[in-house]
Amino acid sequence: MASFITPLILLFISAIFLFLHRRSRYRRLRLRLPPGTLGLPFAGETLQLISAYKTDNPEPFIDHRVHRYGPIFTTHLFGEPTVFSADPETNRFILLNEGKLFECSYPGSISNLLGKHSLLLMKGSLHKRMHSLTMSFANSSIIKDHLLVDIDRLIRLNLDSWSDRIFLMEEAKKCDLRDGNGTGVGDSDSMVWYNVSSSITFELTVKQLMSFDPGEWTETLRKEYVLVIEGFFTLPLPLFSTTYRRAIKARTKVAEALTLIVRERRKESAKEEKKNDMLGALLASGNNFSDEEIVDFMLALLVAGYETTSTIMTLAVKFLTETPLALAQLKEEHDQIRAKKSHPEEPLEWTDYKSMAFTQCVVNETLRVANIIGGIFRRAMTDINIKGYTIPKGWRVFASFRAVHLNPDHYKDARTFNPWRWQSNSEATSPGNVYTPFGGGPRLCPGYELARVVLSVFLHRTVTRYRYCTKPKTQKRYPIIVKRREESKPSNQTWKGKEEESEIEIVD
Ligand code: HEM
């Protein structure tokens, strides 16, 4: 026991020492820090943030401080002093100065689980090259020419398996700032949910990366991924956190599975059997990447596209069910597209996607309100002066997209789901660069177009096949009934009467 406690005491004393040392440095240098408080030594304000994110509405943490200190304030999160920005101009400055004044900096648990060669942690010219390589696999012409067909096919395939009760998680993952306990991605309810929309996004990414069609292998891999992602928002201390330990084990299994694929491919490409996918491009890039580098890169790509897109699909269904007028208008748009087809299963084409004007408003609004990536962490590479304050060299910075997207100064009735605000004649949305669900600058999300297309096709296939209707919300669950629409039944009648009604529940 003593061997356990002594390091803890030492850790605590060093934290206090560090805290006092830092405070005196800022006084000595007379840096004008943004207003705010560093909270308790070591813990800072992390506990307040975590408990705010466990409630229905995490905004009090931000609202309270913005009201008290203004949109740029000092706090102390995850063991480090942090400047928090809820100011769109400052956020843009941070995004655009990536690699010059700021560099990406993720909490330890995330970096360890991603692996040091992942795009999210790469820096400098290698990052630039690999970012544009990733972009080239998910840009609109690739989606138009190849991916749309796969997206549509995989979504139909998955919807065909909707027969059981399905649980969708309420406010699924408020991603960046949550701890590991709040959302329970690994519990049985959410595993059922993951089988629906996650498998769509997962299978799609696996196909793009290494040309594998869905099967037992992808499903086993996906289950390990769920465990890896669970570990992201825990303390990276295997001794204290079972979730983190489990995540590390799962990561090892995923890495082993991917390594086998990479080795197999190396043999094939030596025999001139090249495949036109991301793995093929990595092997042919002339960079002589090691197995470990390729595995880290692919592992992180799957993480980045997986959870984000599936969460947004869930939340779009939730918001639409709560806004019947929007659902009706969306249905009308998609029924018109289907009416031009000779068969309910006829694939969607790029021109169909381009004609989904109201759907794009729904996609924009879902991304604004849901804010899956609440913001991004960076580290100041030098002392930076901005808006009359100094961000000291080495400090963490958090540019909060969520705080901007939900601010009534930028969006009228900012906390209401209103897709019509995105129509060109609307005055409910302020112009300018305040909307950044996919970040910006050199680290702009390479999957932004892909995510939008996946969500649009998912909405198309669900609203033309099913009717969503709500049931009264119980204390824990938020049920949505999905019933197969008569007119959408395929002529060969492959499914049985029992399967015609599915129930989706969103769990608080
Ligand atoms: C609704 C869905 C999505 C949202 C909201 C989203 C959001 C974001 C944001 C905000 C960033 C910037 C992170 C930063 O600046 O540090 C990012 C980066 C990234 N995203 Fe996405 N993303 C989504 C879907 C996808 C998909 C489908 C892919 C797969 C291709 C993907 C791959 C990536 C990668 C690899 C990065 C790292 C880029 C870099 O560091 O250079 N994302 N995403």
- Mean pLDDT for 383-404 is 93
Residue 498 pLDDT: 38
Distance in Å, CA 449 to ligand 1 centroid: 10
Residue with the larger pLDDT of the pair 7 and 253? 253
How much distance in Å is there from the Cα of 439 to the middle of ligand 1?
A: 8
Distance in Å, CA 445 to ligand 1 centroid: 4
Closest CA to 345 of 461, 497, 484: 461
- Average pLDDT value over all residues in the chain: 79
Give the mutation target among 368, 445, 458, 459 for probing the ligand 1 site: most ligand atoms within 8 A of CB: 445
Alpha-carbon span 82 to 84, nearest angstrom: 6
Q: What is the ipTM of this complex?
A: 0.99
Query: Is any atom of ligand 1 closer than 6 Å to the C-beta of 329?
Result: no
Query: Above 90 in pLDDT, residue 297?
Result: yes
More confident call, 38 vs 362:
362
Taking only the tens place, the pLDDT of each residue in 333-351 is 999 999 999 887 899 999 9
Q: Is 461 in the pocket of ligand 1 (CB under 6 A)?
A: no
279-293 residue pLDDT tens = 988 888 878 899 999
Is the separation of the CB atoms in 238 and 245 below 8 Å?
yes
Using pLDDT thresholds of 50, 70 and 90, give the confidence band for residue 158. Answer: confident
Name the band, by pLDDT with cuts 50, 70 and 90, for residue 241. Answer: confident
Q: Is the dihedral of CA 38, 39, 40, 42 positive or negative?
A: negative
Pick from 354-358, 397-401, 432-436, 446-450: least confident:
432-436
Residue ID of nearest Cα to ligand 1 atom 21:
445
Phi, psi angles (nearest 5°) of residue 393: -50, 135
Nearest CA to ligand 1 atom 18: 445
Higher pLDDT, 210 or 26: 210
Residue nearest to atom 16 of ligand 1 (CA): 376
* Cβ-based neighbours of 17, under 8 Å, separated by 6 or more: none
Query: Among 72-76, 262-266, 452-456, 468-472, which is the least confidently predicted range?
Result: 468-472
Whole-model pTM? 0.84
Cβ of residue 440 lying under 6 Å from some atom of ligand 1: no
- CB of 299 within 6 A of ligand 1: the answer is no
Q: How confident is the model at residue 361 (pLDDT cuts 50, 70, 90)?
A: very high
- Does the annotation place 445 within a ligand binding site? yes
> 472, exposed or middle or buried, with CB in 10 Å at 0-12, 13-18, 19+?
exposed
Task: Please give the share of the chain, as a percent, with pLDDT higher than 70.
Answer: 74
Residue 273 has pLDDT above 70, yes or no: no
Please tell me the distance from the alpha carbon of residue 240 to that of residue 237, in angstroms, as a whole number.
6
Asked whether 503 and 474 are in contact (CB, 8 A), the reply is: no
pLDDT band per the 50, 70, 90 thresholds, residue 26: low
Looking from the CA of residue 372, the nearest atom of ligand 1 is 5
User: Could you tell me if the CB of 107 is within 6 A of ligand 1?
Assistant: no
Ligand 1, atom 30: nearest CA belongs to which residue?
Answer: 447
Question: Is the shortest distance between the CB of 406 and ligand 1 below 6 Å?
Answer: no
Taken in order of first residue, the domains within the chain and their CATH numbers are 117-371+406-507 (1.10.630.10)
Average pLDDT over residues 355-360: 97
Per the CB < 8 A criterion, the answer to whether 255 and 295 are in contact is yes
HEC string of 408-442 equals: CCCECCCCCCCHHHHCCCCCCECCCCCCCCCCCHH
Q: Cβ–Cβ contacts within 10 Å for residue 268, how many?
A: 14
| Nearest alpha carbon, ligand 1 atom 41 | 443
309 lines ligand 1 (CB under 6 A): yes
Annotate 56-83 with DSSP letters as a single string.
S--HHHHHHHHHHH-SEEEEEETTEEEE
Q: What is the pLDDT of residue 198?
A: 65
Distance from C-alpha of 336 to C-alpha of 464, rounded to nearest angstrom: 10
The number of the ligand 1 atom at minimal distance from the alpha carbon of 308 is 2
E strand or H helix at 102 = strand 102-104
Give residue 335's region: left, alpha or beta (phi > 0; psi -120 to 50). Answer: alpha
Residue 443 Cβ contacting ligand 1 at under 6 Å: yes
CB 53 within 8 A of CB 182: yes
| 372 close to ligand 1 (CB < 6 Angstrom) | yes
What is the residue with the minimal CA distance to atom 3 of ligand 1?
Answer: 308
Whether ligand 1 lies within 6 angstroms of the CB of 131 is answered as yes
Query: What pLDDT is stored for residue 61 in this prediction?
Result: 80
CB of 376 shorter than 6 A to ligand 1:
yes
CB 85 within 8 A of CB 91: yes
What atom in ligand 1 is closest to the CA of residue 440?
A: 15
Highest mean pLDDT out of 63-72, 459-468, 477-486: 63-72
Q: Kindly state if the Cβ of 168 falls inside 6 Å of ligand 1.
A: no
94 close to ligand 1 (CB < 6 Angstrom)? no
Q: Is the pLDDT of residue 170 over 50?
A: no
Ligand 1 centre and the CA of 447: distance in Å? 6
CB 417 within 8 A of CB 365: yes
Q: What is the pLDDT of residue 243?
A: 87
Atom of ligand 1 nearest to the CA of 208: 30
Q: Which of 147-156, 235-244, 312-321, 486-495 is least confident?
A: 486-495
Separate counts of helices (H) and strands (E) for the chain: 19, 11
404 ligand 1 Cβ < 6 A? no
